[in-house]
Chain A
Amino acid sequence: MKTLTLPLRPEDVRDLSVGDPVALSGVLVTARDAAHKWMVDTLIRKTRPPEGDDQACAAALRPLLDGGAIYHCGPVVAGLDSGEYRFVAAGPTTSSREEPYQADVMAHFQARAVIGKGGMGARTLAACASVPFVYLHAIGGAATLIARTVTRVVAVHKLDFGVPEAMWVIEVKDFPAVVTMDAHGSSLHRDIESRSAQALIRLIGLEPGAG
């Protein structure tokens, strides 16, 4: 088990390889579908002019994401009435939906880790090497267990996106994950998919997805 403490330096990330179990500590930010679209449209490609609290949110997020980590997660949060927020359940959501955005987001903010489940595609893998950053796979569905590693809810941005889609700034201690895409071009997901495609060909006697 490798222990990682945020923020991470490029050399910390390059020290990691596919298969390494890690325990992550420090402050990270949750972001999923609405947040990725917002970051890309408003802050990166600027196809949509900033409005409301966009600039203030961006200013608050930049220092957290520089060397930081983005967690694909839509949590169950208690204390919504009082504002004394507590994470009740907080496993990862499927990362592949952020494939169109992730490489740009990581490069823009110089973030060093993205945490999710299911892995990501070729464009993100290439960016893992160039930015650099790693993809950390958390255990899908292990939501109560993971919520126990959240020691504090520091802040929340974009709560108008809804509780699951908001950008929650949380402090974690020994958040468990495994490196499945590294900064050296390796991806466990690419390898498993290729092996399962070969197994499928054996089982049904042709190429998957053909025709």
Chain B
Amino acid sequence: MLDLTEAFVELIRRTSTDLPADVEQALREARPREASDSAAQRALDAVLENVDLARRTASPICQDTGTPLFFVHHPPGWSTRQLREQIRAAVAEATRRSYLRPNAVDALSGKNSGNNLGDPSFPTIHFEDSEDEELAVDLILKGGGCENVGAQYSLPHGGLQAGRDLEGVRRVVLDAVHQAQGQGCAPGILGIAIGGDRGSSYLASKQALLRPVDDHHPDPELAALEARLTEEANQLGIGPMGFGGETTVLGAKITHLHRLPASFFVSVSYMCWAHRRRRMTVRRGQITYS
């Protein structure tokens, strides 16, 4: 099996320092919507200048390089044990090279491990055996500020008059955006999962964030809800950084899971504007990044 450790370091470097084009484009489109010389527009200017500078100097876009979330799709025959070892070695090396901040803190002692390696779930690595010929590894770096404003609702929700239907989903998602205010580094991107259990629902809401910001859901009804949620979240007026303004979210991405008859969860993962998401593919020994 190939030793991909150095390739994983490069995946981490690109993810931490080079914002995906679709996210940057969405931020650029947001800028002229804000009033000239407003705090909101100045915030977006600083954001865009920072994105450019981070890319040119290969330094982290945000100092909170977050929880590294790896989604590995491997053809049969790859050793997940070896892949895990290589990913962990790459995470430690990327930390040493200052692409990542040491972020793994022992929950009881408060001690920071110093190299981003904690128990087997830090960094988080999800493996999926796939029929494809190529190995594909998606990485999201999800910071703590936006992770803290994620929310999970159990429907029906009396206070929000949210029943077990898409109108109920709309109500709780808008409440989540309101509750988040600017604290998740608005303008954010919403990953939304309908259904599942508490654990699978949150995980799916993060996987929804792998979609490009500018794509459309194949289901017309969900595509319409995504567009409506984006538009209505922006009507909340929270704006970039919570300074007030026209753009509070850049997009909403919905996924759904089977649920128990008793449960109807809606999980909202809020991703900050610094939506650091990259993919590495390995095909016949050739490594590419996107």
Contact = CB atoms under 8 A, between A and B. Distances in A.
B237 to A, nearest CB: 6
A208 B63 contact: no
In which size bucket is the chain B interface?
35 or more
B8 interface: no
Contacts of A77: 98
A193 B59 contact: no
A178 B159 CA distance: 36
A142 B182 contact: no
Contact of A162 (B65, B105, B239): B105
A122 B200 CA distance: 37
Contacts of B273: 141
Interface in B96-150: 98, 100-103, 105, 110-112, 114, 143-145, 148
B227 to A, nearest CB: 15
B237 A196 contact: yes
A89 B112 contact: no
A169 interface: no
Most buried by A among B105, B175, B236: B236
A144 B105 contact: no
Contacts of A197: 178
Contacts of B103: 164
A62 interface: no
A142 B47 contact: yes
Interface of B: 39, 42-43, 46-47, 49-50, 53-54, 57, 59-65, 98, 100-103, 105, 110-112, 114, 143-145, 148, 158-161, 170-171, 174-175, 178-179, 181-183, 185, 232, 235-239, 241-244, 272-274
14 contacts: A91-B63, A119-B181, A137-B241, A140-B145, A143-B62, A162-B111, A162-B112, A163-B102, A178-B39, A192-B238, A196-B238, A200-B175, A200-B178, A203-B174
The 4 A-B pairs at the shortest CB distance, nearest first, are namely A162-B112, A211-B159, A118-B183, A89-B63
